[in-house]
């Protein structure tokens, strides 16, 4: 599944598509994505650039915060790089809600190597949360 196909009710994630990030699964409060490290994604140390890893973490967080039930705006992301990824590595990213506050969700995000599950980076994120049915009702009222 591409970023454009992950939800019929959501606008496609143009950055994810541009970066070649495939959103593979979206459920209420969680999402999974995949990305490959190519030649153009290496830093001067010949390892995956941190921005490439941050990008897949951010995209999967956004997908998890914007599922079929909730609309969320990511407000904060903190990432820790644990080990290096290398050319041609396939990276998997998984985001899931760990706490629901009155108006926000807190997420854990893990980026791992597909081949052995080694942790490449872990991140936390925070997103506002609004129920899509409430938004639809409000939009319908505004249009009347």
Domain 3-143 has CATH 3.40.980.10: no
Q: How far is CA 131 from CA 67, 73, 128, in A?
A: 10, 12, 10
pLDDT tens digit string along 44-56? 999 999 999 999 9
Q: Around Cβ 133, how many Cβ atoms within 10 Å? A: 10
Provide the whole-model pTM.
0.84
Question: Does the pLDDT at position 4 exceed 50?
Answer: no
pLDDT tens digit string along 17-46? 999 999 999 999 999 999 999 999 999 999
Taking the C-alpha atoms of residue 32 and residue 22, their distance in angstroms, rounded to an integer, is 9
Longest dimension (CA), the chain: 58
pLDDT tens digit string along 96-131? 999 999 999 999 999 999 999 999 999 999 999 888
Q: Give Cα 132 to chain centroid, integer Å.
A: 19
Q: What is the per-residue pLDDT for 67?
A: 80
Q: Around Cβ 118, how many Cβ atoms within 10 Å? A: 12
Place of tokens 């903190």: 78
């Amino acid at each position: 599944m591409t970023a454009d196909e992950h939800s019929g009710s959501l606008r496609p994630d143009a950055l994810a598509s541009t970066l070649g990030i495939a959103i593979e699964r979206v459920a209420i409060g969680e999402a999974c994505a995949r990305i490959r490290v190519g030649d153009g994604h290496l830093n001067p140390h010949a390892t995956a650039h941190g921005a490439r890893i941050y990008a897949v973490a951010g995209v999967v967080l956004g997908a998890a915060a914007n599922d079929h039930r909730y609309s969320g705006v990511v407000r904060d992301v903190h990432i820790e790089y644990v080990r290096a990824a290398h050319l041609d590595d396939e990276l998997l990213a998984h985001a899931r809600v760990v706490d629901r506050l009155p108006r926000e969700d807190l997420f854990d995000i893990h980026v791992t190597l597909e081949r052995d599950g080694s942790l490449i980076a872990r991140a936390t994120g925070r997103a506002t949360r609004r129920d899509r049915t409430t938004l639809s009702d409000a939009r319908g009222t505004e249009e009347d």
